[in-house]
Every structure is written in structure tokens, then in C-alpha cells.
Structure 1
């Protein structure tokens, strides 16, 4: 199974001209128990608004011992964009599948920081059992952290799924690309 993390850049309440004329990915690194170079892929949409990651292994289950109860993926994305712009993340949408028994929980968490900036922003959701089915939640990140103006720094993302209790299974995992972790990015002029 391959998990899909979709990082979406969406201009919000800024004029179209506020979007950078070009954005490229200069580098990407993956690290963690839920992803590796052998099971990860990424691309940037032609309009620079959507950065998509497909990650394998983002499946947490109580059936796999202590190591199987938590899966994470740390991603560092080196973005290059035109001077006069900065970005920040505003919301995180988590979609996936969970099978959580009574007195058990499943949690997904996403956090990010911009290299060279202080602070980390995060969003998370916990599903308490009994629950079986697809889930989708949209949450604002805990605080706004913007990149410096004219400074194309790395966006660093840590995604995690974990389960606790007697019987639980949770994933950001999908073969049909329906289950995603989506970051909405605000571009601003400076």
C-alpha cells in the first residue's frame, strides 16, 4: 500500500498576481518508518499550487508490536521561488481509514517548520473507538509560521499516524489515492 500526502498550495485572499511566477523543487529528502526513497514519490503541479507526496508504509496497528504502533515520515522540501514572496501553511486536511475498537484510539498528526525560522506549527486529530471507516478532518495549524521574504528556504514536514489501546488500525494509506494529508499554503507578497 502506498500512502499519499498531498501538500496543496492555495492562494487565499490575495490577488492572482501575488502568486510567484515560478516555483521549483530543488531538493527533497525523506526519513522515517513510514517512508523511504523506495516507496515515495512527489510532484509539483503546473500552477505551483499543489505539491503531492505518495508515501508507502504510513500504517499503524496494534497487531505489529511496539514499533508498529507509530509510523512517521519526515520530509524536507527545498523550494525555489521568485523574490518578493513568502509562504505559510494555513490548514491541514487528513483523510484515511481507521478501524478502532472500544477503549482504543488512533491519531494522525502533522507538523511543520520553515528552515531558519523559529517555532513549529501543528494540527492533529484523535479518533476514539469504536470506529470503522474512512475519516476526513480539516484543521487550522496551531500558529502561522512564514518563510522570510526573498528567502527560498526548506519546508520541513513531519507526518505521523499512531494507535493506542488493545485493538486499533489507522492509516494515511491508499492504493486509489483517496486518502491524503493535504497542506494548504498561502503565498503573500512582501
Structure 2
């Protein structure tokens, strides 16, 4: 499991731009040209009512998803169920045999307000259906804190999470926010917003 510390929103975004452009160029130069999304589904308490994710690849290296956002809260008149929320998106990709893919980058941001003694967590877990391995990135924010956070999920060269070497795979992206301890009257909130693009890497396999 991988973790990232809290980072300033604007500084992190600016520092990542050049690297992201290089990654995207490399992906486009080495990718199957007829990959397509054939199915998409979603589940979770944080998925908005009527939420209908799009399912397109703008090019072989970019998966387009609609933006979404949700929050977890504690406080008076709040149920312990309100202290956690998640939205899991399942995307089935069809691609030529001899190829496999992985996520290369995704970005998340949000607001958090936690008093002393409380903790807020924003986390995303990536895995393929039928594979026991996964990779997670998170922000763990200790109170007192009142402000923004930003997270760059970057899968480097040592990334071990790849789809099966075949012609079809189901990618799962599960994003959650949670607060602890639960069952408290203290007011706290943590929210997360997802960006609309998820970058995809490809490689050939034997």
C-alpha cells in the first residue's frame, strides 16, 4: 500500500505538469489504437443519485469519466454511517491480445475540517477484478486542520498492477472518505472531488 502526505494544491499541480505531459506522450506512442470501453458500472453511498458515468477513451491513454464529489461528516444528529462515504467505478476495457494496461495517473482534491483529536482520510484503491493485488493512495489528515488538500496518484516504473495479458479486463477504482472516531458530537467534514480524466499506460506482453 502506498501513501502520500498532504501537499499544497497549487504547488503540487504546477510541479506535476511537465512530467504528466511526458507520460501522456509516451503512452500515446506505445498503445493499441482500437482499445474501447465496453461496460461501466458504479456503486457506493457517495455516488450521487442518478449518477451515470460516461465511458469513453478520448485516445488510447485517456479514460474520460464525469467529475463527482461527496463528503463524510460527524456531529450532532449525524449517524455513524455519515462518517464514511465511497463511490466505486468499474470499467471494462476491451483491447487487442498481446497487450495489457494499468492506471498511470489520477488526481483528487477536496476540503477538510477536523478538530483536535479527530482524523480525516481520503483514499483511492485500484485493482482488477479477479486479481488479489491492489494499490492504494491516501491523504491522512490529523486535526486540528481546516483547509484544502490535493493528491496526485502516480504509478511509476515499478508499478506492479497490470491487467491480465489478454483481450478484456475490469478495472475497479474505489474512492472513499472517512472520519474517526465515529459516534462523536464533534463537527467534522471531509470531502473529495474526482477529476474527469484517468491516464492509462499500455505495454506489450508475451
TM-score if structure 1 supplies the norm length? 0.77
1:39 and 1:55 in contact (8 A); partners too: no
More helix by share: 2
- Which deviates the most, 133-142 or 112-121? 133-142
Match of 2:47 among 27, 32, 35: 35
2:96 corresponding residue in structure 1: 82
Alignment length, in residue pairs? Answer: 177
2:71 corresponding residue in structure 1: 59
Q: Secondary structure at the match of 2:125?
A: strand
Deviations 1:84-124 (A, max 9, x none): 32112345532111122222221111112112333122111
In structure 2, distance between residues paired with 1:172 and 1:15? 27
Match of 1:159 among 167, 175, 185: 175
TM-score if structure 2 supplies the norm length? 0.72
Q: Which runs of 4+ in 1 moved over 6 A?
A: none
2:64 and 2:198 in contact (8 A); partners too: no
Return the index of the structure with the highest Cα Rg: 2
More strand by share: 1
* Match runs of 1:45-124 below 5 Å: 45-54=57-66, 58-63=70-75, 64-124=78-138
CA distance 1:15–1:62, shift in 2 (3 Å):
closer
User: Unaligned regions of 5+ residues in structure 1, if any?
Assistant: 1-7, 174-178
In structure 2, distance between residues paired with 1:15 and 1:69? 38
Aligned-residue RMSD, C-alpha: 2.9
- Which deviates the most, 44-53 or 109-118? 44-53
In structure 1, distance between residues paired with 2:66 and 2:112? 19
2:28 and 2:61 in contact (8 A); partners too: no
The yes-or-no answer on 1:186 pairing with 2:196 is no
